[in-house]
Amino acid sequence: MNRRNLLLRGDLKIGIWGVGHIGYSTMCHFAERGVSIVGFDIDVEKAAAVNRGESAIFAMDYWLGFSPGYLFKSGQARVTTDWEEMMDPEISVHFICIPTERHGQPWL
């Protein structure tokens, strides 16, 4: 069976590093389609709020076209602050959604 089908069946998960604008919207996009998502962020308060179903970004539900809170309340998607959870072998796809620039220049 291919990776897409394994993700859609719930046998594999997607990991999202960083739950800002890009990471949060990516989590919501895939979770709404039935994929199990684990997000990581260093901000403990943001992680807790998102897991309670509160949007991390102002007016994101308007931009997404749906209110994503139910995805987090149901457990379809969740955010952790423990990077070791992201090493779960079931997380077979990783999206890196963290800032990579400072002042318009690559931040290495």
| 70-87 b/e (C-beta count within 10 Å ≥ 16 → b) | ebbeeebbbbbeeeeebe
pLDDT single digits (tens) 38-85: 999 999 999 999 999 998 788 889 999 999 999 999 999 999 999 999
Nearest to 20 by CA among 106, 95, 103: 95
108, pLDDT greater than 60: no
Reported pTM: 0.88
Nearest to 23 by CA among 45, 4, 3, 38: 38
Side chain identity, residue 84: E
- Assigned superfamily of 3-99: NAD(P)-binding Rossmann-like Domain (3.40.50.720)
Place of tokens 């998502």: 37
